[in-house]
């Protein structure tokens, strides 16, 4: 068995960088670990977790060049620890658009007369 080092680009938001201070690199590693433990792939639309008492929210994607990019910001402690993938987000958006089309079609139909 052996280990490899792969480039992972971390993009901390200004408020997260300020709040984390010198711990920003350790928080970035924790973010990567949380993404891995979520076991939903590397493209996460939203994942929230607590790091040293601070709620962080991250999203990740695989860039065209194959590098994993993780954006890290402050989360909302009132929300539960949660995650959903980019694919789940796309599915939810498609379902929402379909519902909107159905609703629009219903509103456009004349009322039935019995």
pLDDT-derived band at 30 (thresholds 50, 70, 90) equals: very high
Q: Would you state the pLDDT for residue 84? A: 57
Count of the separate structural domains present in the chain: 1
**Domain presence at residue 67:** yes
Query: What is the span of the domain harbouring residue 57?
Result: 8-84
**Domain presence at residue 15:** yes
What distance in Å separates the CA atoms of residue 53 and residue 49, rounded to the nearest whole number?
10
**Domain presence at residue 93:** no
Three-state SS letters, 48-81: EEEECCEEEEEEEEECCCCCEEEEEEECCCCCCC
User: Is residue 26 scored above 90 in pLDDT?
Assistant: yes
**Domain presence at residue 3:** no
**Domain presence at residue 69:** yes
- Average pLDDT along the chain: 82
**Domain presence at residue 70:** yes
Q: Would you state the pLDDT for residue 51? A: 92
User: Is residue 71 scored above 70 in pLDDT?
Assistant: yes
pTM (predicted TM-score): 0.67
**Domain presence at residue 26:** yes
């Amino acid at each position: 068995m052996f280990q490899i080092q792969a480039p992972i680009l971390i993009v901390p938001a200004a408020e997260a960088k300020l709040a984390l201070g010198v711990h920003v690199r350790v928080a970035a590693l924790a973010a990567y670990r949380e993404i891995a433990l979520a076991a939903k792939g590397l493209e996460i639309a939203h994942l929230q977790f607590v790091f040293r008492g601070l709620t962080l929210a991250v999203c990740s994607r695989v860039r065209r060049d194959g590098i994993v990019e993780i954006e890290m910001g402050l989360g909302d402690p009132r929300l539960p620890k949660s995650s959903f993938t980019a694919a789940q987000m796309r599915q939810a958006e498609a379902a929402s658009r379909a519902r909107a089309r159905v609703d629009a079609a219903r509103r456009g139909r004349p009322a039935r007369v019995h």
